[in-house]
Amino acid sequence: MRYFGIDYGRARVGIAVSDDEGKIAFPKSVLKNTGVSALADVIARLAKAERAFEIVMGLPRAIPGMDASLRDEIQNLADIIKKQYQIPVSFQDELFTTRMAEEHSEKNTDASAAALILQSFLDRRNKV
């Protein structure tokens, strides 16, 4: 089964895709965030083109005193994708993924962060 990973940002959105076995994540591309509705449409089309079984979205932890609006935007995007496009969406903690991607990649940081999010999900899912 193939999976599609998302690292959501207010300016850019990183995209990653897994191999056909759902074991290894690869950075794919970076999208410009032009609004939740338009973004949901683009993500759904790309996920379907990749034959993705499920979309995995990075979700920041809820930390007391932290602005929750980014979490709300991500959950709203997931709701639109699930309801309008009937694609399953799961969440994966994205703690420090962008920072780790910056340390290991000179370009496509957002796509690399999406791959780290997706790989964490796949590793947890495939754990025996």
**DSSP-derived pairing of the beta strands 52-59 and 89-93:** parallel
The residue among 74, 56, 42, 39 whose CA lies nearest residue 2 is 56
Q: Is residue 73 part of a domain?
A: no
Query: pLDDT of 12-38, one tens digit each?
Result: 999 999 999 999 999 999 999 999 999
Q: Is residue 61 part of a domain?
A: yes
Q: Is residue 77 part of a domain?
A: no
Please state the domain count of the chain.
Answer: 1
Q: Which domain holds residue 111?
A: 2-43+52-66+88-126
Give the pTM.
0.87
Q: What pLDDT sits at residue 116?
A: 93
Q: What pLDDT sits at residue 77?
A: 98
Q: What pLDDT sits at residue 61?
A: 79
Full DSSP string of 74-99: HHHHHHHHHHHH---EEEEE-TTHHH
| CB-CB contact of 101 with 86 (8 Å) | no
Q: The CATH number of the domain where 39 resides is what?
A: 3.30.420.140
Full DSSP string of 35-59: -HHHHHHHHHHHHHHTTEEEEEEEE
Q: Is residue 94 part of a domain?
A: yes
Contacting residues for 50 by C-beta, under 8 A, at least 6 apart: 2, 4, 17
Q: What pLDDT sits at residue 102?
A: 53
Q: Is residue 82 part of a domain?
A: no
Q: What pLDDT sits at residue 127?
A: 86
Q: Is residue 79 part of a domain?
A: no
Q: What pLDDT sits at residue 65?
A: 65
The low-confidence residues of the chain, meaning pLDDT below 70, are 62-67, 95-107, 128
